Each structure stands twice: as structure tokens, then as C-alpha cells.
Amino acid sequence: MAPTTSTKPYGKRIAKYFEHIKGEYHFEDVPDKKDASITIKQKVYDREPDPPTLTGLALFLGFTSLQAFEVYEQTGFYAAQLQMGRLMIEAEYEKRLHYQSATGAIFALKTLGWKEQHEQTVGADKLKSINITITTTGPKIAVTEKEVEL
């Protein structure tokens, strides 16, 4: 069940967090740039929107540290709601991967535990042993001057 429809306390508070970060605004009548006799409605922010962050969510829910949030997320009574909140934040960052510059979103997702998978597994049947034999040619290398032959 998504936090936006949850009846559990943290689910409701997580939904409020996502509403809060949208900012607060009102509409004002402003003159049109092409025709000053016409007015249009323009959105004016009283409080600018904020991006969703895990730390922001933790603070909004009343945790005093991200570590306390993560401990409760693993062992707390409402762990499922906190996990859903984390997933919602990851979803927001994942959406930003489709933007022109996704570097920040990639960094954020990596800090949330995402990993790049470039590993190749080699099957046991493809492993072969290599025998190396060292052979020497030419004269023996002298260790001291007495061993040098002229």
C-alpha cells in the first residue's frame, strides 16, 4: 500500500512530505507581455519547491539523523512505510536519469545503494590452467667478478 493511501502514521506523514516539497504558491493577475490590456494568471511561489531527498524526508519525519532513520527503517514497527518513502525518493531520482544532465541523479542513486553492473562471470568450463616454463639461453649471468670469463 502506497504511503499516500496508507492509514498508518508514517504513511500519512510521508505523503505530507511529498506535498510539502511541492512548495506553496498563489496566482496573480499580470499584464500580458504582448498586449498590456489583457491580464493573465501567473503562478507566484510563496515558498519554492524543494527536491525530494532522503535526508529531507528523515528531518520531516522527526528523526535527528539519517542513521536513526535507517535503523528504524530496518527494525522499526513502521519499517515498511519508511522503505516505501525511500523507494518513492529513488523513483524521483530515477526519473531524472532521463534529463539532459543526469550526473546528480546518478550520484544520488549510487549513495542510495545502486551499483553499476559491469562484471562478467567466467564459467568453470572456460577456466584453463597455464603452465609457464622459464628457459635460459646464452651464457650464465655472473654474480661476482671472479665468474666473468674473458
Give the domains, in start order, of the chain with CATH numbers. Answer: 9-114 (1.10.132)
- Please report the pLDDT score of residue 145 as a whole number: 79
- Per-residue pLDDT at 58 exceeds 60: yes
The closest of 134, 127, 97 to 112, measured between CA atoms, is: 97
- Per-residue pLDDT at 118 exceeds 60: no
- Per-residue pLDDT at 40 exceeds 50: yes
Question: What is the pLDDT confidence band of residue 129, given thresholds at 50, 70 and 90?
Answer: confident
- Whole-angstrom distance, CA of residue 49 vs CA of residue 107: 21
34 DSSP 8-state letter: S
The closest of 50, 53, 48 to 93, measured between CA atoms, is: 53
- Per-residue pLDDT at 67 exceeds 70: yes
> Are the CB atoms for 67 and 16 separated by under 8 Å?
no
- Please report the pLDDT score of residue 2 as a whole number: 47
Average pLDDT, the chain: 81
Q: How many residues does the chain have?
A: 150
- Per-residue pLDDT at 80 exceeds 80: yes
Phi, psi of 81 (to 5 degrees): -70, -40
- Per-residue pLDDT at 48 exceeds 90: yes
- Whole-angstrom distance, CA of residue 45 vs CA of residue 21: 12
> Are the CB atoms for 102 and 94 separated by under 8 Å?
no
- Per-residue pLDDT at 111 exceeds 90: no
Average pLDDT for residues 66-84, to the nearest whole number? 91
